[in-house]
Structure 1
């Protein structure tokens, strides 16, 4: 990266949500995100997740009862904002993701793609627009948004999302008892507030693992996998 260019952000808060899997991928995700440039990580674990001793430098938050994907995700983002209230960017990812090398440095120069953003997804599903030259693209799909693997929120957007009554009401009134559909909730929030939903293409994150903690019969194929994934971004 050109040292003469202006670094837009440097203060991050980074979290990983995790739940028990038949074939755990958390260690791969932690190693990959560290290689991508982030060292200070917070892990928000549903009951039954074991953290290897190799990663004793993590901030480890253990849930003592099963919350479900959306409640754990929402609570995790809330804790990140309260723990790091001055962070410029909040990256919250899932436990089955590989990241492009050098992603942090790249993003610190490239964020934000607009003066106001709803969310930036650095994971690009295979059925979204595919670019050869790395860039952010708008994918304003509302409830049909896809892929909450690696979301980045600005400080204002994180606070706005967490305080939105419709987002909170998803737990009470949403489908599947409000336990799923993180991406749909975020996409709809962007749509209602006329905020852009950005996706980076080619993808800077890749979905891994053969099982899903949310949809047990799903596999990492088709829409659930990035068509183009950069192993390293410059």
Structure 2
């Protein structure tokens, strides 16, 4: 977690909120963080959904919401880069600044559409517009994932988001090459996870202009 916090600060964000599972130690030297620590383990999807909900309620007029996991490293200074390039379309489902290895294209750096529905990969660093965040959070199928989805609705954030985009006919954009890297076995949500195969970006932009 410390690596991710330091990395996202170098990427250009200084107002951060942490949504932590129980017993997670928050580094004391990051005393400027807004901390929300759960008193019971919720699982990946419920924690993610509640976190995005709180972000929208805290900042209801924000243009965009970036929600990321705790095992990601970012390209430095990407906030300014993104502020000039968002949004890649007039209507947005989601923008992923993490690009898994099998999505990467050998093109000029930029956003590519990857409308894969339930087969979408990589919820490590999502950006939602204000309208798309509100629409997703109020969607009945998204809400029903916790009660009726596979694995008791605990996982599959990326699949839920991808399927929502597909149903709403909204684009799912990915930045290629990736602006973030999955660093693997440090996640508090997936403690046994490892970075293999499609769970890692092939290439990360080291700098942006």
TM-score range, shorter chain: over 0.9
Instruction: Verify: 1:66 aligned to 2:49, yes or no.
Output: no
Instruction: Verify: 1:81 aligned to 2:56, yes or no.
Output: yes
Match of 1:6 in 2: none
Contact 1:212 1:219 in 2 (8 A): no
* Aligned mates of 1:62, 1:216 — CA distance in 2: 18
* Aligned mates of 2:88, 2:112 — CA distance in 1: 9
Match of 2:203 in 1: 228
Give 1:133 deviation, angstroms. 1.8
The worse-fitting range, judged by mean Cα deviation, of 107-116 and 122-131 is: 122-131
Instruction: Verify: 1:197 aligned to 2:172, yes or no.
Output: yes
Match of 1:55 in 2: 30
* Aligned mates of 2:6, 2:116 — CA distance in 1: 32
Contact 1:106 1:233 in 2 (8 A): yes
Instruction: Verify: 1:219 aligned to 2:194, yes or no.
Output: yes
Please give the secondary structure, in 1, of the residue aligned with 2:181: strand
* Aligned mates of 1:217, 1:150 — CA distance in 2: 20
Task: Please give the residue correspondences for 1:165-184 in structure 2 after superposition, counting only pairs within 5 Å.
Answer: 165-184=140-159
- TM-score normalized by the length of structure 1: 0.87
Match of 2:162 in 1: 187
Alignment partner for residue 146 of structure 1, among 98, 114, 121?
Answer: 121
Give 1:97 deviation, angstroms. 0.4
Contact 2:45 2:153 in 1 (8 A): yes
* Aligned mates of 1:204, 1:85 — CA distance in 2: 26
Please give the secondary structure, in 1, of the residue aligned with 2:160: helix
* Aligned mates of 2:125, 2:62 — CA distance in 1: 17
* Aligned mates of 1:84, 1:216 — CA distance in 2: 30
Q: Deviations over 1:161-206 (max 9, x none)?
A: 0000000000000000000000000000000000000000000000
Contact 2:24 2:188 in 1 (8 A): no
Contact 1:180 1:214 in 2 (8 A): no
Give 1:129 deviation, angstroms. 3.4
Contact 2:70 2:186 in 1 (8 A): no
Give 1:130 deviation, angstroms. 1.9
Q: Which runs of 4+ in 1 moved over 6 A?
A: none
Give 1:213 deviation, angstroms. 4.8
Give 1:74 deviation, angstroms. 0.1
Alignment partner for residue 40 of structure 1, among 2, 5, 15?
Answer: 15
Q: How many residues are aligned here?
A: 209
Unaligned segments of structure 1, at least 5 residues: 1-25
Match of 1:91 in 2: 66
Match of 1:17 in 2: none
Task: Please give the residue correspondences for 1:100-119 in structure 2 after superposition, counting only pairs within 5 Å.
Answer: 100-119=75-94
- TM-score normalized by the length of structure 2: 0.97
* Aligned mates of 2:21, 2:115 — CA distance in 1: 31
